[in-house]
Amino acid sequence: MKSINPATNQVIKEYTPHSAAEAKRIVHAVDQDWQAWRKTTFAERAVMMHKASDILLADRDECAGIITAEMGKLLGEARGEVEKCALACRFYADNAEQLLRDEVIKTDFSRSFVTFEPIGVVLAVMPWNFPFWQVWRFIAPALMAGNAAVLKHASNVFGCAEKIEEVVRKAGFPENIFRSLLIPAREVESVIANPLVKAVTLTGSEAAGSKVAGIAGRELKKSVMELGGSDPFIVLEDADLDDCVKAAVTSRTLNAGQVCVAAKRFIIVESVAAEFEARMKEQMEALVVGDPMDEKSQMAPMARPDLLDEIHDQVERSIAQGGKLVTGGKRLDMPGNFYAPTVISGVKKGNPVYEEETFGPVAALITVKDEAEALAVANDTDFGLGGSVWTADGERGVSIARQIDTGMVFVNSMVVSNPKLPFGGVKRSGFGREMADYGIKEFMNIKTICVQ
């Protein structure tokens, strides 16, 4: 199990996986610490969570350096990711008690209410593309709610997992309330089956989610799945193209396009399609693609060589099946996993970039005649994670947003995540929610108490 720099393909560090017996001992240790942790107060937990936020900000550059070295994100993007983690810590430190307060229900009983109690050890199976944020947006609410956590991180970002574990300990949390399991994917099933593990959350691919959710279902354990997406980006005739195209380019090149909740299918009414395409081509070609440690770079490499091969194959199949290559569509002649920012126009139903998730810097442009067709195309997908609508009429945008089958829709903005807002999808993009009050309640025992 190796950590490899995507910009150079040089090995950073090799890791010896935990054995099945070691993983079992770690889970047992986490459960033992949870027995005491569940009895702590919100105020006690908040002190440590605020400390974790402070440490993340103090160690921001170190954490960002690890992220960039291991998965290739631009250094500036990595700093922003660490800052967002600190924000999540502060949000839940300040709000967990209020979010989990007892809810009084008026019934025929003298007194009846719902209370929220922690369930125990929760397993998080997390991806490499946001190696700090995906973890902290889980463990901040989980620990503040009184649960404990074990992490199976992606095997190419074990350095990030180690640093997160270090931050949790330095913040004063019990030694084993959060632990990282250095295990391959095939060992996840045995961890889920462990009776001490009460639930599982996964962010990752549709295939991984289907498998893990199936195991959790067999074991009768709660699960939350945040999977892939093929988000629609609807551009109407009255959209502000300056803001719209800028957001479109950012959506496809942020994190080298390796974002589940990002615009991927650009659905443009025909009256502005030609201008949108020309502007997007110009801005994509102007991007500086290079060393993610260089502050002048505007797009980074992809995280692994196999991912680069997959996106290139998808582009070639899409062109062979009728798509028009506007720009890009090739590997860049430089060390590392660099791919040219790519635009494909004339995309129709059945084309790979119409039907499949694009997890790289590739934009699929789909021209439609009007709003009704735009909405039909937006919903013509197995995915339902996010989406955006661009129009000068905000109420019109809201009306369209209500008709899009996704977990999130943003009007005149690219999709973003925020600890205050629930995050998650429908259809094959998964189920359950992270963040906000909905997320923190996912792994709680929602207990009814009645008194007569």
- 226 has catalytic annotation: yes
Q: In what order do the strands lie in the sheet with 342-345?
A: 324-327, 342-345, 362-368, 263-269, 231-235, 388-390, 410-411
The answer to whether the beta carbons of residues 140 and 99 sit under 8 Å apart is: no
- Whole-angstrom distance, CA of residue 406 vs CA of residue 381: 10
Indicate whether 125 pLDDT > 90. yes
pLDDT tens digits along 281-302:
999 999 999 999 999 999 999 9
CB 324 within 8 A of CB 346: yes
The string of pLDDT tens digits covering residues 65-116 is: 999 999 999 999 999 999 999 999 999 999 999 999 999 999 999 999 999 9
The candidate with the shortest Cα–Cα distance to 9, out of 156, 132, 153, is 156
What value does the mean pLDDT of the chain take?
97
pLDDT tens, residue by residue, 202-241: 999 999 999 999 999 999 999 999 999 999 999 999 999 9
> Tens digit of pLDDT for each residue in 317-333?
999 999 999 999 999 99
The mean pLDDT of 359-369, rounded to a whole number, is 98
Structure confidence at residue 1 (pLDDT): 86
Q: What is the pLDDT of residues 155-214, one digit of tens each?
A: 999 999 999 999 999 999 999 999 999 999 999 999 999 999 999 999 999 999 999 999
Identified catalytic residue from 226, 277, 357, 442: 226
What three-state secondary structure class fits 226? strand
Q: Convert the pLDDT of each residue in 12-34 to its tens digit.
A: 999 999 999 999 999 999 999 99
Instruction: For residue 43, count other CB atoms closer than 10 A to its CB.
Output: 9
Calculate mean pLDDT across residues 339-345.
Answer: 98
pLDDT at residue 152 tops 90: yes
Considering 89, 260, 277, 434, which one is annotated as catalytic?
Answer: 260
DSSP one-letter code for 380: -
Q: How far is CA 340 from the centre of its chain?
A: 23
Task: Count the neighbouring beta carbons within 10 Å of the beta carbon of residue 152.
Answer: 24
Cα 422 from Cα 420, distance rounded (Å): 7
Q: What is the pLDDT of residue 10?
A: 94
As given in the structure block, the two tokens for residue 106 are 């008026």
Cα dist. 399→228, 238, 364, 411, 423 in Å?
Answer: 25, 15, 24, 10, 20
Q: Largest alpha-carbon pair distance within the chain?
A: 76
Could you tell me which residues come within 8 angstroms of residue 261 by beta carbon, excluding any fewer than 6 positions away? 229, 231, 385, 386, 408, 415, 417, 423, 425
pLDDT at 30: 98
CB 379 within 8 Å of CB 400: no
- Could you tell me if 167 and 56 are in contact, meaning their C-beta atoms sit under 8 angstroms apart? yes
252 — pLDDT class (breaks 50, 70, 90) = very high
Instruction: Please say whether the beta carbons of 123 and 133 come within 8 A.
Output: no
Q: Please state the pTM of the whole predicted model.
A: 0.96
Q: Is the pLDDT of residue 244 over 90?
A: yes
pLDDT, residue 418, reads: 94
355 in active site = no
CA nearest to 382, candidates 430, 314, 425, 428: 428
362 pLDDT band, cuts 50/70/90, is very high
**Cα 303 off chain centre by:** 15
Q: Which residues contact 148 (CB under 8 A, 6 or more apart)?
A: 30, 31, 33, 34, 37, 120, 121, 122, 142, 176, 177, 178
Rounded to an integer, the average pLDDT of 304-309 is: 96
Q: pLDDT tens-digit profile of 382-433?
A: 999 999 999 999 999 999 999 999 999 999 999 999 999 999 999 999 999 9
- Residue 329 CA to residue 320 CA, distance in Å, equals 12
Structural domains in the chain, CATH included, are 2-228+427-451 (3.40.605.10), 231-382+386-411 (3.40.309.10)
Position of tokens 């659905």?
Answer: 267
Question: Dihedral angle at the C-alpha atoms of 151, 152, 153, 154, nearest 10 degrees?
Answer: -170
Residue 192 in tokens: 């889920």
Strand ranges, E, within 159-261: 178-180, 197-203, 222-226, 231-235
